[in-house]
Amino acid sequence: MARTALLSVSDKTNLVDFAKLLKDLDFEIVSTGGTKKVLEAGGVDVTGVEEVTGFPEMLDGRVKTLHPKIHAGLLAKRDDPDHMKQLKDAGITPIDLVAVNLYPFRQTIEKPETTEAQAIEQIDIGGPSMLRAAAKNFADVLTIVDPNDYQPVIDALKAHSDDNAFRKHLAAKVFRHTAAYDAIISNYLTEEEFPDQLTLTYEKQQSLRYGENSHQKAAFYRDPIPSKLSMITKQLHGKELSFNNIKDANAALNMVSEFDDPCVVAMKHMNPCGVGTADNISQAWDEAYESDPMSIFGGIIAVNREIDAQTAEKMHKIFLEIIIAPSFTDEAFEILAKKKNIRLLQADLSHRDQPDRFETISVSGGMLIQESDHQIDQIPDFKVVTNAQPTEQQLKALQFGQHIVKFVKSNAVVVTTDTKTLGVGMGQPNRIDSAKIAIQKAMPKDGYEHAIMASDAFFPMDDCVEYAAQHDIKAIIQPGGSIRDKDSIAMADKYGIAMVTTGVRHFRH
């Protein structure tokens, strides 16, 4: 007995071959518009959907398949005698297979020149309706939304293995697809920052070997329309990225993107262990490496300039997990690729001023969402609150410290010059311990005599200022805002330290 397949696709990949294989399995083919033309051109005998419905397409193609003779044919339960009688009485043929993929809404809105009216015309109505109807009735109707499923469906039909589990798998894929499609449309049309219902969708980028630890399963999903500054990078060399690699690389990429001058960021466990800027990337590497030669071992490196051979030779001398750069010279790539496992990633930093606007964090039973911290504190906004005034070099160092401290886990205190980190203290339950860690790591290093200290939040007591003064720190930057600010200011005045406040806190939990 002949069966009926309805084919109506935007993506014509392998369409004609699939239809011919269905014909070999005694399927009658029903189709619409452009799909019908492609099939006919390919030599496939096709019945137009208007011949089934007895009703022509109308409203510029907005209405083609929205008709009882289509949807009853999809929704009728074959094991329900009453359903089948109603179909017979109405002269409706059951539809046994549906292959539909939807108008290219996402691809349309990705084009900068697309108007809202053009985008709206790419909102598919009939396609999702047919898919959802067929998927609801998956016990009787095979649903296909992905051309990659054409061959598995043919194989299952030939082997008579299109059982309930197989059909349910395809139906679930349909509902994921239509949900994702609607999510992209709703996000495009939504103007509220935090709507009452937030529907997000992601596409699987890759399975990961494991998560944070080897006993945890994991996968990497991408935003279907990622921001211009994105961890959807091009991997040029090396073994597969891990869960922790991706987190660290993302932190390093976001950090290095904030610097205008040639910059190198070394990241370990979501914290910078070395940051350097200079006139060229090779010198910037020297500054970053000298910041913490021990911690940089096994680190994730992000740079905002092309990596040349001179820089690559220096990097090659130590073990590094990942290097992210806008590009590599051929010679630099050849040098670095001598190590088979190092991951070399190419990232587009030309749109560094277009990072993600929001960031999300999962919690038990829900999710937090907030605007990303893209605040860059500028020298003209600094407020000097002490008798001592910062020098021009100290002001540059204070601004550099602010760039760094916002990417360090709270409680965060960093000691820097105007070109490199000297010591980083992070993640301590009290601020004085973070200050002690940063200063003790900084003290032996060249440039310490020009060091400043930056804090991500205000000083609740004057102990951090006193400890800094006792270790020859000459300038401090912090948000201010504590009820005991006057104590910290007084301590700074006691030791002749220049202190500036920004009024902006940069917690990173």
The pLDDT, as a whole number, for residue 298 is 93
311 within 8 A of 282, measured Cβ to Cβ = yes
- Per-residue pLDDT band for 63 (boundaries 50, 70, 90) equals low
Q: What angle do CA 302, 303, 309 make, to 5 degrees?
A: 115
> Which residues have CB under 8 Å from 34's CB, separation 6+?
12
Asked whether the predicted pLDDT for residue 353 surpasses 80, the reply is no
The catalytic residue among 12, 23, 83, 269 is: 269
Asked, as a colleague might, if the bond just before 411 is cis with ω within 30 of 0, I would say yes
User: Domains in the chain, ordered, with CATH?
Assistant: 3-189 (3.40.50.1380), 231-346 (3.40.140.20), 379-501 (3.40.140.20)
DSSP secondary-structure letter at 420? B
The pLDDT, as a whole number, for residue 1 is 59
Distance, in Å, from the CA atom of 129 to the CA atom of 124, rounded to the nearest integer, reads 9
The pLDDT, as a whole number, for residue 493 is 96
Residue 67: active-site member:
no
72 within 8 A of 92, measured Cβ to Cβ = yes
The pLDDT, as a whole number, for residue 263 is 97
The catalytic residue among 136, 173, 396, 445 is: 136
- Per-residue pLDDT band for 60 (boundaries 50, 70, 90) equals low
